[in-house]
Chain A
């Protein structure tokens, strides 16, 4: 079993829909949780960063961490075609950020 599980998709939704992306993990020591967005042939871009449990909101993006269930989510409201990309979750037990990565979910927003 992988330490971090993420459905690779693709996930295809119409423009304007709410998107839910998820990761599960097995290591209870993880404290730092991140979501990255990666466009084709580009490096990942940090979207959201959360320490420990709880919610964090930034514009159309909301990150949730449920440590009791070992489950993290990224919600995208009012999705746009420009949101089409691969979304990777990553986590670390400490601030050294030697991250453990999910496989990435390919998201397609249809106009």
Chain B
């Protein structure tokens, strides 16, 4: 149980375009979703916390106009990287709060060329 499905698993896009990443909770309702970014050989960096039906809370240094988060329902949260640039290339992972911790999506590897 408590599965978070994340799509796409990888995406390559041109600089200046936007990319949307989706996370769906398959068998539970996720009132809170966390979005992380992970650089190679580094730990997870929390980008933002989203609560269903309200605006996301962004961590210091994360541009909210660049990383648009929508949590319109209890089973779906999306992260849109707008006007992507090569420095946005990274591994993005969503997670949802469950009893005893967080359950994670499988991650999205974004490459901006």
Contact = CB atoms under 8 A, between A and B. Distances in A.
Given A8-B41, A44-B44, A88-B44, A97 B97 contact: yes
B98 to A, nearest CB: 8
Interface stretch (A14-22, A62-70, A72-80, A98-106): A98-106
B93 A103 contact: no
B44 A49 contact: no
Contact of A88 (B41, B43, B107): B43
A36 B95 CA distance: 13
A8 B91 CA distance: 18
Contacts of B97: 96-97
A98 B46 contact: yes
- In this complex, the interface size class of chain B, counting residues with CB under 8 Å from chain A, is 20 to 34
Interface string B33-45: 0100000011110
B59 to A, nearest CB: 10
Contacts, number: 50
A90 B103 CA distance: 13
User: Taking chain B's interface residues, is the majority helix, strand, or loop, or is none over half, making it mixed?
Assistant: strand
Interface in B27-85: 34, 41-44, 46, 49
Given A41-B107, A43-B95, A44-B104, A103 B43 contact: yes
Contacts of A88: 43-44
B102 A46 contact: yes
Contacts of B6: 43
Name which of B44, B91, B105, B107 has the most chain A CB atoms within 10 A of its CB. Answer: B44
7 contacts: A43-B4, A43-B104, A46-B102, A46-B103, A88-B44, A98-B34, A104-B42
Interface of A: 8, 32, 34, 36, 41-46, 49, 88, 90, 96-99, 101-104
The 5 A-B residue pairs whose C-beta atoms are closest, nearest first, are A43-B104, A49-B100, A101-B43, A43-B107, A103-B43
